[in-house]
Structure 1
Amino acid sequence: MSGNELGIRAVVFDWAGTVIDFGCCAPASVFRRVFQQKGLEITARQAREPMGLAKRAHIAAVIAMPEVNQAWIDRFGEVPTDADVDALYSEFLPLQKEVLSDHCDLIPGVVELVETLRRREIAIGGTTGYTRELMSVVTPAAARQGYSPDAAICSDEVREGRPAPWMIFELAQRTDVYPMACVAKVDDTPVGIAAGHAAGAWTVAVTDSGNEMGLTLVEYESLSDAEKKERRTAIEGRFQQVKPHFFIRSVADLPDVLTKIDEKLAAGERP
């Protein structure tokens, strides 16, 4: 496309919690399991808080939490080291790969969204904290259900994952889309939204289908409307530090937001 045309021409999606794995359950469960194997119990909230980082960085962030760090010292008699993080990460990878195939269902609305984006000639990109090896399970499973991005990149293929912008920049290059004001980043984690801002893209935070809600689809659908609203309000509060341009409950709501962004661009607004 011409760099002078203004309008959304590419959307960069996260994977787990945004387009697959409602509730982002696969990584959260495995992070807890890895620490359990060391005799340490971490809470679901602790396991989920750094979500969006590359997986080794995620483990390092968990182990640096004061409560977890102290529990490690109490059990092993010394502060955790980089070597300990490496050991946990090496145990994490095969466990994660083992359970991934059970967490690849597309989030409702994704197939219809893909059709809409194709019709509007908007490129589809994917970024993830998973490694390329882990994505060898996810990518074909998603494709069989109707989701195949034009380009996808993993955190182990760039210098640094989210919140750095490098994966988004790489996808913009691969899809030949510029300026960055023509790109939207859709993510269910604050670090993903921060990456979108760092890249100069529009940012759209997902509240209901992702890590912050942290529920399976069945669990989510069992909530009353009032319970969903209460949780959603709390989630939006947790995102305020990174100030997303828009909130959506799931990607099914994205087309209307893209129309609003196009209107803002036409009016001279930029991210």
Structure 2
Amino acid sequence: MRIANLSGRLVLITEHGTAVDVEQLSEGRFSADPQAVYPRWAEFRAWAATAELADGVPFSATDLGAPAPAPRQILAIGLNYRDHAAESGFAVPDGLPPVFTKFVSSLTGPVTDVALPADGQTDWEVELVAVIGAPAYRVAEENAWDHVAGLTVGQDISERRTQLAGPVPQFSLGKSYPGFAPTGPYLVTADSFDDPDDLALGCSINGEDVQKGRTSELLLSVPVLIARLSAVLPLSPGDILFTGTPAGVGLGRKPQRWLADGDELVSYVTGIGELRQRFHI
């Protein structure tokens, strides 16, 4: 099953790639608000499994918003791929990798224009993103997928000067400029994949591949992350989890490379879709 946020309304995406309005199809049983579906995720899944979808309407990707546009929490994981830890000059974390947040004001949909900070060093980090679909606190790893509504594509865009400035790093601040957390285009349920723990992901700049990887290479998988995080704090329906990025970021290159005026960044996770960001000064 695929859902999306189309012009601020919750829609189901048909097998033909058209959109069906959930509020209209359910005759008001479910709200048009995309965020409101997550606290009722089990009920929604049961209804959607038997709903007879109409033909749906075509739409433009530019009208899509973030699948979970107003989460209580955005949690992000650093150094969760061995090759990315190496290119960043860090040892592989022993235990839980670094955890930070991207502030909710940075969250956007899949197709956007992003302003580059002045005199910055803005980097790219494609990631698989999980959205929580049931309250999770002290969840066992073997049960963790039961608490996931679905998966989407994310970019953890990072302003490295801000992130690494000062006596201690400012990870959350450097990763939270406006537009620095695009997600989408759809939320796809785990049962839609042959193996939700092994998905190809990557990104390109102006058609040049810069990152490629597979989520099977994550040091801590989605279920392990949910188990480890929920051992410390409750995860709420609609919360967003950025799971980490593979090697190929600008920081780790020699010479280092940063996003520039006019660049187009295209990011994907196979089976979900792509993000498209255009950068400008």
Query: Normalized against structure 2, the TM-score is what?
Result: 0.31
Query: Could you state the TM-score of these two structures normalised by the residue count of structure 1?
Result: 0.32
Instruction: Judging by fraction of residues, say which structure has more helix.
Output: 1
Q: Which has a greater percent of strand?
A: 2
